[in-house]
Amino acid sequence: MLDGKKTLFSGMQATGNLTLGNYLGALKNWVTISDEYQTFFSVVDMHSITVRQDPAELRKRARMLLTLYIAAGLDPEKNCIYYQSHVSGHAELSWILSCFTYMGELSRMTQFKDKAAKHADNINAGLFTYPVLMAADILLYQADVVPVGIDQMQHLELTRDIAFRFNNIYGDVFTVPEAYIGKAGAKIMSLQEPKKKMSKSDENPNGSIYLMDDPDTVIRKFKRAVTDSEASVRYRDEQPGIKNLIDIYCACTGKTPQETEREFDGKGYGDFKMAVGEAVVSVLKPLQDRYKDLSGNKDYLDGIIKANAEKAQYLSNKTLRKVQKKIGFPEKIR
């Protein structure tokens, strides 16, 4: 607990182009709840190298993501926004925690199984211990809450198990974190296959709206979005395409599905798709403008990156020192 506020940690990988799904499902909620917590929002570039990356591309995307955090409305003076690789404690704690994590636990992780199947030519040890690094991220800052999507719940459960296990042996060293399940952090589906999550790794670019898509592209993608033959704007599971469009519309306008059904009662899909596209453009446009301003301001961004990395390094060191002492590493001579 710092400044009387609970601590919140979350992170995103700098791989792929961020989508509207990442924004409405995660980033936007981070902004909404950030005031209530002492926050750490990391660009987890160390996790990214568990699959092969092009170095220049990784560097570029990491900076884009960090800039987007700020453009989305996270004030970098109040929120610790930083690159994971700039803070040495992540790797150091990760090693220690890996000695408190069982092979059996890691082999049960569904993300590992999925990624190992997808990258069969590169099933490296880092891919396997990925969840330990994630546990280190969270426990380093004694986070109380961690906003995560359903797909990361298993990793968070493991983090809790590791923290409990460690605390049982050494006393109360770690705060045991809770998942923060947002008030319906909208789950956005693909515009082309509405039963699949909108994903930055989708091969079909028409399925996803990217945060940097220009207005014409956004409108065009919505015009092409897959619907059904019912021709009525109804919020029902039987109409997954329309349901997804309603979710997107609601997340962008603050309206409820019922209000949306009423608004488009008797209207065709053409009108509705146009309205959804426009609602999305009006959310993305200001974000893109801020992004452009920020990325043109190199000195300002560099200053933020430096100051926040120092802050994160300082705060994480407190936990790391405590852990090193507990497990019996000799004290450094200063």
* Residues involved in catalysis: 115, 197, 200
Is position 152 an interface residue for ligand TRP (rule: CB under 6 A)?
A: yes
For residue 151, give Cα distances in angstroms to 26, 47, 110, 117: 13, 16, 9, 17
Nearest Cα neighbor of 316 from 156, 144, 143 is: 143
Is position 9 an interface residue for ligand TRP (rule: CB under 6 A)?
A: yes
Query: Side by side, which strands form the sheet with 6-12?
Result: 80-83, 37-43, 6-12, 145-147, 178-180
Q: Percentages helix, strand, coil for the chain, rounded to the nearest 5?
A: 55, 10, 35
Is position 112 an interface residue for ligand TRP (rule: CB under 6 A)?
A: no
Give me the DSSP letters along 146-211. Answer: EE--GGGHHHHHHHHHHHHHHHHHHSS-S---EEE--TT---PBPSSSTTSB--TT-S-GGG--BT
Residue from 13, 38, 50, 79 in contact with ligand TRP (CB under 6 A): 13
Is position 41 an interface residue for ligand TRP (rule: CB under 6 A)?
A: no
Between 154 and 167, name the residue whose CB sits nearer to ligand TRP.
Answer: 154
- Give the interface segment with ligand TRP, choosing from 4-12, 54-62, 242-250, 285-293 (CB under 6 A): 4-12
Between 114 and 271, name the residue whose CB sits nearer to ligand TRP.
Answer: 114
Between 177 and 194, name the residue whose CB sits nearer to ligand TRP.
Answer: 177
Dmax (CA) for the chain in angstroms is 77
Cβ-proximal residues to 283 (8 Å cutoff; 6+ apart), any chain = 23, 252
C-beta of 13: minimal distance to ligand TRP in Å? 5
**Tokens for 119?**
């990258």
Between 10 and 227, name the residue whose CB sits nearer to ligand TRP.
Answer: 10
Cα–Cα distance, 143 to 44 (Å, whole number): 16
Binding to ligand TRP by CB under 6 A, coded x per residue (else -) over 248-277, reads: ------------------------------
Between 11 and 21, name the residue whose CB sits nearer to ligand TRP.
Answer: 11
Question: If binding means CB under 6 A, how many residues of this protein chain bind ligand TRP?
Answer: 13
**Tokens for 253?**
């306008």
- Give the interface segment with ligand TRP, choosing from 8-16, 192-200, 228-236, 287-295 (CB under 6 A): 8-16
Is position 144 an interface residue for ligand TRP (rule: CB under 6 A)?
A: no
Is position 137 an interface residue for ligand TRP (rule: CB under 6 A)?
A: yes
Is position 134 an interface residue for ligand TRP (rule: CB under 6 A)?
A: yes
Cα–Cα distance, 143 to 137 (Å, whole number): 9
Give the residues lining the site for ligand TRP (CB under 6 A): 9-13, 44, 47, 134, 137-138, 146, 148, 152
